[in-house]
Chains A and B, each alone.
Chain A
């Protein structure tokens, strides 16, 4: 019974979370540039929508998502001015393979390293892939966990609406 009550409370807490507010700013966390220098996430800026995507070299759905978007990304940029910030959560085991990987795949993204998951925690990401949409004023307006083919089309529709200055709620 004790367990049941606790579980019920936790579930309630989980459900209440569905009604939590969006629209917060990107938190200020120090992560790494690909060359090893420090990058402050408060400096993620763009004159248009921003996609922030958490990924890792060992995460197949993450790579599927980012490679699928990469095929059309030039059109996305031309049409909406969107910028994609890919945050690799690879730790010391794989973080030195990130640059060869992104060059090998010819991604046109801004890629940063978060090897101890500091930014991942500040953004409340449980697991990758996890994608955020940020509006022109720097507010986080939408987020999505996991990836399956077709999700990129929903994401693009939202980017188009944001670029047009519409609210996406």
Chain B
């Protein structure tokens, strides 16, 4: 079956490209352009019980994606071929239900002020608090809609969007149908008097409704569930303010133990910046905001909305992949402050080339709740799970709380500082200190008190000549909890524009279990030619968590060969 599919795909591609080169012919694709990209990640697995690498009977895994888009004037059409043979470890095994297929295809018409898409599409309303369909390949997330979308701008400054569709669920589609509408008013565009005003003002509102049959639950489940959101963004000279409030009417789901309580969330952000200085303060509070197109769905599946984590997205290995925060859509309250300052070049402290300092502080806590069914939260949750009538909670509302109810439980703390300085024309140094306090029981389901970790990082970059450079990283993490202390070292040699050679090692020297004080050496060679990149690596990969935007995926330990190819054309 999939061979047929593949033949069809390859054939179509070649017919398309054939048409393109036959410029003299009278085909409908005359003057059309074909372009796309290709992305392959493959891993070979050796047995390695000491690091806890799972045994993979197939001994290898491959994830591959090919996008093709054909554009002609105002029309375009695209397909994505995906293959999992079988999925790389750490990706949901349900991707392997079909080794190869076309889960994404669309046709669209785009003109000034009007856009119509039939088939698959991604979409985001505002910050995404009530609706966001997106693809994050590295996380195995793709909740694309399959249906119809229209975007229309009847006059300057008024932007309307409407859509209807089912969402992607691995190789299947969601039971639930989503219907949504968004409107945005941009005052500076709409009123010519405001066009060049220093005051920039935009407001927007969304309405989202999902339908799913009730099935045979003992509860009377609502088949239609509505949600909505309102937002504004205001900029005046160096200042910026943004806010969005979202609401979901009663939506009993497996996530929330089938309570009929409404969900709500708020996200606020304020900014001030001028040349060399910038500050951002943001706050977020969410309660019962797991909004999915299937009330039985779990994990990262079938989310209609997106709740960003208000914490720094770390990039160094030890600060990014051991204790990264993941949003708790069921309920959390958080604050974040972010500051960047460049000490001017030429000053006594700034040095000849200037020095940049970044400071970031993030706090996330639980939400204070009092349950109706029982004063003890765990007992109340257990009672709700039974899905029976609770006389203390006849309306099944679950608990009482409000968006300002800051709870006692620490979910996450992150205080970090980064100093970046260029010492000479050819030498740069960056130093960071990071403190993390991480609720490992909540986020990784490990029975342990919160992990308190202190992390130090030094990174150096030496430009040896026009084409040759060396970059190195030295990292250390100290903690009394979980796996104890780590060190990490990396050296990367670059020969522009084609070659990069990287060697790295990490060592869990502080593990309380002596046998688990293990080294994880890895070497990798990368070749780049324009928009094509090939890299081959060999070594041990530490178990960790890979996150984008507060959504995470577990990456199991592995030992073996890796191959990555990306290409755009």
Q: A144 near B: Cβ within 8 Å? A: yes
Q: Is B200's beta carbon under 8 Å from chain A?
A: yes
Contact A35 B235 (CB under 8 A): yes
Task: Tell me how many residue pairs across A and B have CB atoms closer than 8 Å.
Answer: 234
- For A144, the chain B residues whose CB sits under 8 A away are 497, 528, 530-531
Q: How far is the CA of A121 from the CA of B463 in the complex (A)?
A: 33
B35 touches A24 (CB 8 A): yes
CA distance A125 to B531 in the complex (A): 9
- Tell me the chain A residues, 130-155 only, with Cβ under 8 Å from chain B: 130, 142-146, 148-151, 153-154
B313 contacts A13, CB within 8 Å?
no
Which among A5, A58, A99, A100 has the greatest number of chain B C-beta atoms within 10 A? Answer: A100
Quick one: CB contact mask for A93-108 with B, threshold 8 Å, 1 for yes?
A: 1101101111111100
Q: B76 CB to closest chain A CB, in angstroms? A: 8
Closest B residue, CB atoms, query A122: B69
B273 and A99 contacting across the interface, CB-CB below 8 Å: yes
A146 touches B533 (CB 8 A): yes
Which residue of chain A has its CB nearest to the CB of B310?
A93
B171 within 8 A of A: no
Q: Are A106 and B550 in contact (CB under 8 A)?
A: no
Name the segment of A14-22, A45-53, A77-85 touching the other chain. Answer: A14-22
B315 and A60 contacting across the interface, CB-CB below 8 Å:
yes
Query: What residues of chain B lie closer than 8 Å to A6, measured between beta carbons?
Result: 2-3, 6, 83, 85, 99-100
Chain B contacts of A30 at CB under 8 A? 115, 151
* B278 and A101 within 8 A (CB): yes
B500 CB–A CB distance under 8 Å: yes
Contacts of B159 in A (CB 8 A): 38
A28 located at the interface, meaning its Cβ lies under 8 Å from any Cβ of chain B in the complex:
yes
Complex interface: chain B residues within 8 A of A106 (CB) = 275-276, 342
Q: Which residues of B contact A165 (CB under 8 A)?
A: none
Kindly list chain B residues whose C-beta atoms are within 8 Å of the C-beta of A125. 37, 568
Name A58-84 residues within 8 Å CB distance of B: 58-60, 64, 71
18 CB contacts below 8 A, A to B, read A6-B85, A6-B99, A13-B66, A14-B66, A18-B569, A36-B235, A91-B308, A99-B240, A103-B273, A103-B276, A121-B135, A130-B531, A142-B530, A145-B528, A145-B530, A146-B500, A148-B469, A149-B469
Q: Which A residues have a C-beta under 8 Å from some C-beta of B?
A: 2-3, 5-7, 9-10, 13-14, 16-18, 20-21, 24, 27-28, 30, 35-38, 57-60, 64, 71, 91-94, 96-97, 99-106, 115-118, 121-127, 130, 142-146, 148-151, 153-154
